[in-house]
């Protein structure tokens, strides 16, 4: 198993004052992630998966939580009481492009958590040689559309599905020069 990278554990104070503890996702999170998928509300599942959720199996959970933290990277956010409240991930689709996905529990939306997690993912991706994120999501998912607008993403919508692309160096918070690729 690849060890999670250092430097990503942090506590954020969200716009509503609540703290969220963010760290890299690990296989130890698999049981809780499985339960979150099984018990998520139908709207969250539809928005996240553009339809129904996949069947939760040990193989799926292993796939979602066993990461190399280079081409597959994920962060989990927890409340101060401990349970997970959000997950953000990227997975490489080519040498310099990665697809992103975010899921946030309903009570934790619209307080800056998804934006903060995507910013952290973007910095991680830049450090690892990526320069673009892509996303596929339900076109009626306004929170994701607003998040991608904030990141200066470009999108195309067809038949209820939106495809977006974000150039990581275009964001105002991106470093002025590219990171060197980790060995």
Confidence at residue 177, expressed as pLDDT on a 0 to 100 scale: 45
pLDDT at 179 over 50: no
Confidence at residue 138, expressed as pLDDT on a 0 to 100 scale: 79
Q: How far apart are CA 133 and CA 131, in angstroms?
A: 7
Confidence at residue 175, expressed as pLDDT on a 0 to 100 scale: 56
Q: In the chain, where are the structural domains located?
A: 10-170
Confidence at residue 180, expressed as pLDDT on a 0 to 100 scale: 40
pLDDT in tens, 107-156: 999 999 998 999 899 999 999 999 999 988 878 877 777 877 777 777 78
Confidence at residue 178, expressed as pLDDT on a 0 to 100 scale: 43
pLDDT at 89 over 60: yes
Q: How far is CA 125 from CA 14, 27, 95, 112, 153, in A?
A: 23, 21, 11, 20, 16
| Contact present, 102 and 87 (Cβ < 8 Å) | yes
pLDDT at 61 over 60: yes
Name the pLDDT band for 46 (thresholds 50, 70, 90).
confident
Q: How far apart are CA 83 and CA 71, in angstroms?
A: 26
Question: ∠147-150-153 over CA atoms, to 5°?
Answer: 85
What average pLDDT score do residues 88-102 get? Answer: 95
Confidence at residue 174, expressed as pLDDT on a 0 to 100 scale: 58
What is the CATH code of the structural domain delimited by 10-170?
3.40.630.30
């Amino acid at each position: 198993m690849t060890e999670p990278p250092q430097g990503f554990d942090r506590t954020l104070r969200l716009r509503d004052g609540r703290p969220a503890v963010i760290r890299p996702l690990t296989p130890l999170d698999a049981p809780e992630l499985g339960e979150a998928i099984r018990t998520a509300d139908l709207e969250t599942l539809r928005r996240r998966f553009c339809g129904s959720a996949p069947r939760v199996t040990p193989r799926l959970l292993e796939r979602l939580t066993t990461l190399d933290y280079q081409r597959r990277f994920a962060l989990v956010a927890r409340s101060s009481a401990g349970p997970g409240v959000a997950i953000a991930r990227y997975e490489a689709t080519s040498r310099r492009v990665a697809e992103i996905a975010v899921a946030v529990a309903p009570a934790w939306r619209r307080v800056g958590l998804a934006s903060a997690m995507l910013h952290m993912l973007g910095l991680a991706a830049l450090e690892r040689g990526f320069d673009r994120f892509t996303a596929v999501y339900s076109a009626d998912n306004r929170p994701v559309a607003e998040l991608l607008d904030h990141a200066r993403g470009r999108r195309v919508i067809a038949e209820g599905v939106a495809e977006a692309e974000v150039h990581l160096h275009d964001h105002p918070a991106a470093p002025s020069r590219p990171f060197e690729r980790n060995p």
